[in-house]
Chain A
Amino acid sequence: MINLLWLQSGSCGGCTMSLLNAESPDLIKTFNAAGINLLWHPSLSEETGSEAVEILDAVDCGITPLDILCIEGAAVCGPNGSGAFHMLSGTDRSMMEWIERLSQRARYVVAVGSCAAFGGITSAGSNPTEARGLQFDGEQRGGLLGDEFTSEQQLPVVNVAGCPPHPNWMTETLMSLAFSELQPQQLDKLGRPRMYSDHLVHHGCPRNEYYEYKASSEKPSDFGCMMEHMGCVGTQAHGDCNTRLWNGEGSCTRGGYACINCTAPEFEEPGHSFVKTPKLAGIPVGLPTDMPKAWFVALSSLSKAATPIRLKENAVSDHIKVPPKIHPVKKKR
């Protein structure tokens, strides 16, 4: 059996809620299939109060072996580095200290969600609680556990970033750790499992045809591409959100709103409105990933000139105004 301990730090609990959305199979079946034994989880386990503290103490002093430590939420280090903004209730210890101690015991440490990975929303604005990621402060390596930290199995903190992460990003990462399969080269330079981070949110976006012709949405509920005006950064954001859907048939762009790059460090402070695209001389500032600027500008103006009426009209409509033409079947003689 693989012992898994899950703790919530400076978080909204949304990663757990997303985890419970796992399907085909559901979460309980997935854990059973991977041989994962849930030592304790704040939302699911029976044990409360001293019963729960006993479980943590047994791990802390090495009596119970810990295979996977999942931390959901940022390490809350304030005020003044004391961690007192988040004491683990029933103990006189800050959650920050619990994370530091238990990380020393775990074969693998998983930062669940962008808060635990990089600080995330909890570190937004003036970062009043001194929130940090486990091994990153925003984009900078470091974080609570430090740049050099590796868990017992010589892996850095595994960053299942996302706000929240897709349930499968979490379950598949946990399975791969339970099977001792995850290797350092399977993490990207931000510590994210490449299984999902080598993809872009743009892949499989149903608005791709609008993107190709720069037929752009102008207001919420329009069908067009949201890159030009509506703040969408799906062409730069890492994640397989549109090839592996959410809650059945969804994704952010399918829900009619911008991808805000929630798998990336510092997504919480874009420096401009989340839902308006910043532009320079009428051209969106952020370019699609791996695309040379000159080519993007050239291709955009060319494709804009070639936009079919159908896309131009539908892009600013909330339903299909102009259906695709039905071509007569041409029989080859």
Chain B
Amino acid sequence: MTRLVVGPFNRVEGDLEVKLDISQQQVQQAWVNCTLYRGFEQILRGKRPEDAMVYTPRICGICSVSQSVAALRALADVQGIKMPVNGQRVTNLVLANENMADHFSHFYLFFMPDFARPIYRDRPWFDKVERRFKAVTGTATAEIVPARAEFLHLMGTLAGKWPHTLTLQPGGVSKSVQPQERLRVLAILQGFRAFLERVTIGDRLENFVALDSLEALQSWAAANSIESDLTLFLEISEDLQLQQLGQAGDLFMSYGNYPLNGEYCLHPGLWQQGKKPLDLSLISEDISHSWMNQSQAQLPPISGETEPDMSNPAGYSWCKAPRLDGKMVEVGAFARQLVDGHPLARALYQDSRSNVRNRVLMRLLELARITIAMEQWAREIDPSQPFFEDNGQLMQDGIGIGTLEAARGSLGHWLEVRDGKIHNYQIIAPTTWNFSPRDSQQQPGALELALQGAPVREGEKEPVAVQHIVRSFDPCMVCTVH
């Protein structure tokens, strides 16, 4: 048995270290460690509830808006307030802008550069992939960095700036959209659609979204006219059999996303060999393998405690281990599309469950689906109607929960206000689910499970298969531990 420690594990957001036990050229066991603790849940105690809108986005610079949306929903839940429909549209647009920019950056900057590593120099696709995806110097980076920046102009127009806006509020948005700004947003979205269609997907977004089976996807990609970064990925995936890499568990969750007038654009729920309802009250956090005070091994988030303590002999991460009814869960774009019921997601699940290929494909599908939805929300903005509603209510004591789907999966904030101050604030981020340590039942987290069986070549210190698997989750470590 050989022990490898891979770190600093980069091209993920934040600090990550992975320990691997290897024998027979395979990973036997893995342990995931989030190596940075910042203590936001401690910082928030005693603060004014409304100031959560300043602190929580700063948990994460890449999921900043997602944190804002969770916080505003938790605050709105305490106060029992609703935002006008224009406020919902703009909130959806701003959240989708961040989520889609994240999917876009993940594919090009974080995930694809690993196929341009010299280890693949004997593959038939290597030369073109190296030219296109080499980290920093590849042609893709030169193209997508400006395209991403231009797409994020939507933030300048609707939210002042990104990251870390204060536009999003429990009662709506602080920026009322003027007629000329609505048109500007439509123009920005057209520019992004054009880039996706020309470069990333290689076809009308609607045609890609309409694919409903693995066969349909394969024959679409084989069509002569389609040459894109997506089809290049499919070629690599076919050659390396990425659908056999990184399978985790069989329970998937989505809190649902982009609600408008009570209807979700992406529906919430669970998937376990079929769609099931989701009950948030079944969530608890296990800290048996975390560097946390061990007085309570498992607590639901609303009464959760965060007291760092390195003396736990079983501890190996700052991350807690969230579980649903005691079970390990995978979250993210694959889970979200599966739960929502997109035919291609269901077909991929039937074919090969969750794995590197399917996670990446579902992010690209979501890029197409949600860009189309964004156009719809922008068209429907009505500048003559209010964007913010002053509910005139003082912050009362109570409990609030705010949930949504960030780019990387299910994000929840659990808030208790007592005597007008934040009494407790607990955050469970997407990567807290995916990259959790073991729990008191010795159940590994989703990544720890997905890494078991990963192939390791002779002499590899950072097994490339391990890198593909880790990055296929698009982990965000700064959110994970906060």
Provide the residues of chain A in CB contact with B5, threshold 8 Å. 90
Inter-chain contact B136/A45, CB cutoff 8 Å = yes
Provide the residues of chain A in CB contact with B51, threshold 8 Å. 273-274
| A10 contacts B by Cβ under 8 Å | yes
Closest to B147 in A: A26
Least CB distance, B438 to chain A, in whole angstroms: 18
| A15 contacts B by Cβ under 8 Å | yes
| A91 contacts B by Cβ under 8 Å | yes
A273 is contacted by which of B16, B36, B50, B388 (Cβ under 8 Å)?
B50
| B11 contacts A by Cβ under 8 Å | yes
Interface residues of B (CB under 8 A from A): 5-11, 13-17, 33, 35-39, 42-48, 50-51, 53-55, 58-62, 64, 105, 109-110, 113-114, 116-117, 134-136, 141-142, 145-146, 148-150, 152-167, 169, 171-176, 178, 184, 308, 310, 318, 383-384, 386-388, 390, 461-462, 467, 478
Closest to B145 in A: A26
Residues 190-234 of chain A, each 1 if its beta carbon lies under 8 Å from chain B, else 0: 000000000000000000000000000001110000000000000
Task: Output the residue of A127, A256, A258 with the most chain B CB within 10 A.
Answer: A256
A-B contact count (CB 8 A): 273
Q: CA separation between A127 and B40, bound complex, in Å?
A: 9
Provide the residues of chain A in CB contact with B38, threshold 8 Å. 10, 76, 85, 122, 129, 131
Inter-chain contact B152/A21, CB cutoff 8 Å = yes
Provide the residues of chain B in CB contact with A15, threshold 8 Å. 61
5 contacts between A and B (CB under 8 A): A12-B478, A17-B62, A221-B176, A255-B174, A319-B178
Inter-chain contact B174/A248, CB cutoff 8 Å = no
Interface residues of A (CB under 8 A from B): 8, 10-18, 20-23, 26-29, 38, 40, 42-53, 76, 79, 84-91, 95, 121-122, 124-129, 131, 163-164, 219-221, 245-258, 260, 262, 268, 273-275, 318-319
A16 is contacted by which of B15, B61, B165, B184 (Cβ under 8 Å)?
B61
Closest to B169 in A: A220
Provide the residues of chain B in CB contact with A49, threshold 8 Å. 6-9, 461-462
Provide the residues of chain B in CB contact with A48, threshold 8 Å. 6, 8-11, 462, 467
Inter-chain contact A248/B33, CB cutoff 8 Å = no
Closest to A241 in B: B161
Provide the residues of chain B in CB contact with A90, threshold 8 Å. 5-9, 17
Provide the residues of chain B in CB contact with A18, threshold 8 Å. 61, 162-163
Provide the residues of chain B in CB contact with A11, threshold 8 Å. 61, 478
Q: CA separation between A12 and B102, bound complex, in Å?
A: 15
Least CB distance, B61 to chain A, in whole angstroms: 2
